[in-house]
Structures are given as C-alpha cells and as structure tokens.
Structure 1
C-alpha cells in the first residue's frame, strides 16, 4: 500500500503541500486499515458504513482541479485504466454480496412463514428448513468460488502518480471489506452434520458461540432436521423464531449499507469517466 510519505512527496500528480482533502482521505484510509478485524456482524457493518464516509471524501478528492488535470493526462492512461478496471471488480463484488444475501433472505422468509403456521404441522417447518439449508449450501459454494477466483492485486504503483495511488489504496481497502462481507455471509464452510455434531457436544443450556448470525440459524435448522423423529420442542421453536428475526434484521442493515456503497462506486466511476473524456 502507498504510505503517507507518498502523498507528501514532490511529484507531477500532487503539489508539494497536499490539499486538506487529500490529507483527510489519507487519514481515513489509515484509520480504516487499522480497524480491520475478523468478520463479525459489528465489524462488517462498521466497515461498510465507514466506506460510505470514505467515498464522500473520494468525491471531494476527485473534484480538485489539480487531480482532474492529472487524471486527464494521456501519459497516465494506463494507470487510470487500471483504476477503472478495479471499479468494475468492486461493483461485481458488491453485487455478489447482495445476491448471496437475497437468496438467503428469500428462504429465511419461507422458514418464518412456516413458523407462524407451526400450530398446523411440524412437517412444513422441516421441509422449509431443508430448502433453506440447500439454498445456503449453494450460496456458500458460490461465495467460495467467487473468493477463490479473485486475483491478488499485484499492480505496480508509481510514486510520480500519487493521485492514482490514492485511488488504488481506496479500492484495495474496499475490496478487503467486501471480501470480509462475503466471508461473513458464507459463514462456516463445515458440513451440516459437522455443525450439528458441535451443537450436540455442547451443553444445551449454554449459548453456542458462532462467528456469524448466518451460522447460528444454519446450525439451529440443521439440528431441527436431524432431530425430526424426536420432535421439535416449543423452546426450540421460540429460539429459532428469535434467531431468524435477528438474522433478518441484520440482512436488512447489511443490504442497505451495500446498496449505499454500490451507489457511491457507480458515482465514482462515472466521475472518473467524465474526467478522462473531457
């Protein structure tokens, strides 16, 4: 990643004394890098919301006349093209995250509907649980493939093009945050039976710790499916109802944050295209 020293160096891209907006953007990048941690609900949500603030600074950064003049120079077309290619990858990652959540949410709503009709037959709940788990299996597979196909960013950076380097640093941080989001949505890659075995080995009166709310619902539904013959207790139903409501709320929050980020990514890309076309 580019260090702060890069933005203070004399170059053809930034003046010797950086603009306050550039300093602000640099500070935000450093702060967000240091705050990156494991993929938990709070960290993923915080990361996505922080990116929204970051891209507001990016918009100001791109409005600076000196930066617009730099980005429109023909001798750095190659570097600007790399930034534009990166913006497309980020849009794809953002869309993949939203698609994965949407698929999970649709099946989750079917489970909730079955829970509201639980006075009828347990069979309905079990069937919806199986459908949900099958969808989650497909989602996990798609996410795993998406993350595996992501090529590491080994693009060379040039200290004489600090404006481009700043944008690349923003994209790198954005990609890391979106990858954390996808990993969180995918949850554990263990098989359903492995998850159930973990639950069975724990005291039923103790809360099971999971790294993802998605994992929590997956584990409960796996347990209910495996315990079908012994019947589903009222406490299990209440627990499942509570967990699905938590997950639904979390999906809503994450989706809103991703939608906001998506709009910012589109706006930033449009601004870049407008700069180089003028």
Structure 2
C-alpha cells in the first residue's frame, strides 16, 4: 500500500480561508486513496471539487505574487498533459460504452429470433484490446509530467494537487484497463466457483464483462451473457464520464487562470 504524505501545516495559522479549504479538500482526497470503501467516482468528484478551490486559490493576489515565470511555464506544461489524459480517459470510456450498447441491442434482437451476437462481441473485444494499448501508452506518458519544485507553501500545495491528480487518473485508467489475470481465472469467476477474497476484491465491472464475453467467443455459448452486468457497467461508465466532463472544464479553467498569471 502506498504511503501518502498529507500536508498539515502548509500555510501559516492565519492563512486565507480559500487556502484552508484547499488544504482540507486535498487531505480528504489523498486520504481516500487508501480507503477501500471510497469509490472511483467519489475520488473523481473530489478531484473536481479540488480544482474549483485551486482556481480560487490561484486568483488570490498574494499567491500570484509568489509565482515565478519559469515555475508557471512548468505548471502550464503539466496542466496540458493532464488535460490530454482526461480527454483520453473520456475517449476510452466512450469507445467501451458504444460497444456495450451494440451488444445490448443485439441481445434485444435475439428475442425476435436473431440468436447470434458473435459479431458484436468480437467488436467489443477488439475495442478492449485497442483501449488497453491506449491506456498503457497514457500511463507511460503520465510519468513524464514534470514535478514541481517545492520552494514555498504555494509551490508545495500545487505540487500535492498535481501528484494527487496523477494518482487519481492512474487509478481510473487501471480500472478501465481491467485485470491482467488469465482467462482461466476469469472463467472461474464467471462460473461462480470459489475464488480467494483478495482476487474477488480486485475484479472490476470491466473484468466481469470481459470474462463473460470472452466465454461467448471461446465456448460458442449464446445464453451465457448476463445483461444485468452490461447494464450495470454502462450505467457506471455514464456516471464516470459525467464527472470527467465537469473535471475537464475545471482543468481548462485552471489552465486559463495560469495563462492569465503568466501573461501578467
């Protein structure tokens, strides 16, 4: 389990209320990284709220006076990379959601006499391979986000914000990418056989759906698809995308504020 440093005294005791609020939001979000009960969507909502505070924080004159041009340039570069990561996350979600909807449509047609859904399942699995390649590339690029040098409390706070953002996106992309477990392990899960608690806890909605659809192809079974799993995953993807859409707007707004600081 990763160990996170939570800044407890980033600012003097008489700091601005916005700074205090930002510190509290950051501590709450970082502590949730290790909480098993904290859902991914909750973390993304927390990140969205965090950036609302960041934008207000950056607009405080006292903070703008402490930002150096060379430092702002580095933060701007990092913010652009984070925007790209957010956009990629939304893209892979959209691709996966579209293929799930195709399968659900095929399953509805089955009741009218069309029994074969192999083509839709094959397209879904192809998309999943493409998505996993995109995620692997994105995770690699995330390591290239320049770290902020901590020279004063403002730098330290925004360094924590950037690191927390990267950690949250890593969690999101790893979730979308799914487990790297073998098909045999997945088959055990789908068939309802006993699995270790540790293994069961690591299975995401994507894992369960991938396993089910892989069996459709490998075992030529047409009645194995549990539509409730597809409905649940589609609903989850919709919820995540709505939060990401708001987060993307907040990231754009924060970048605009940084550009304004830099130009002045």
- Deviation digits for residues 35-75 of structure 1 (CA, Å, limit 9, x no counterpart): 113788x621000001121112112212212112223xxxx
**Inter-CA distance 201–43: structure 2 relative to 1 (3 Å threshold):** closer
Which entry has the higher C-alpha Rg, 1 or 2? 1
- Give 1:112-261 correspondences, 5 Å limit: 112-119=104-111, 120-123=113-116, 125-151=117-143, 155=147, 157-159=149-151, 161-192=152-183, 195-196=186-187, 199-200=190-191, 202=193, 209=200, 211-228=203-220, 231-233=221-223, 236-237=224-225, 240-261=226-247
| Match for residue 22 of structure 2 among 17, 25, 48 | 25
How far apart are the structure 2 equivalents of 1:17 and 1:133?
56
Is 1:4 the equivalent of 2:8?
yes
Number of corresponding residues: 254
- Runs of 4+ residues deviating >6 angstroms: none
Gaps of 5+ in 1: 9-15
CA RMSD between the two structures: 2.5
- Give 1:60-99 correspondences, 5 Å limit: 60-71=56-67, 76-99=68-91
How far apart are the structure 1 equivalents of 2:253 and 2:146?
25
- Corresponding residue for residue 36 of structure 1: 33
The alpha carbon displacement at 1:217 in A equals 0.9
- Deviation digits for residues 208-266 of structure 1 (CA, Å, limit 9, x no counterpart): 945211111111111222221xx433xx34xx211111111111000011110000000
**Inter-CA distance 2–84: structure 2 relative to 1 (3 Å threshold):** farther
**Inter-CA distance 184–192: structure 2 relative to 1 (3 Å threshold):** same
Instruction: Compute the TM-score of the two structures, normalised by the length of structure 1.
Output: 0.82
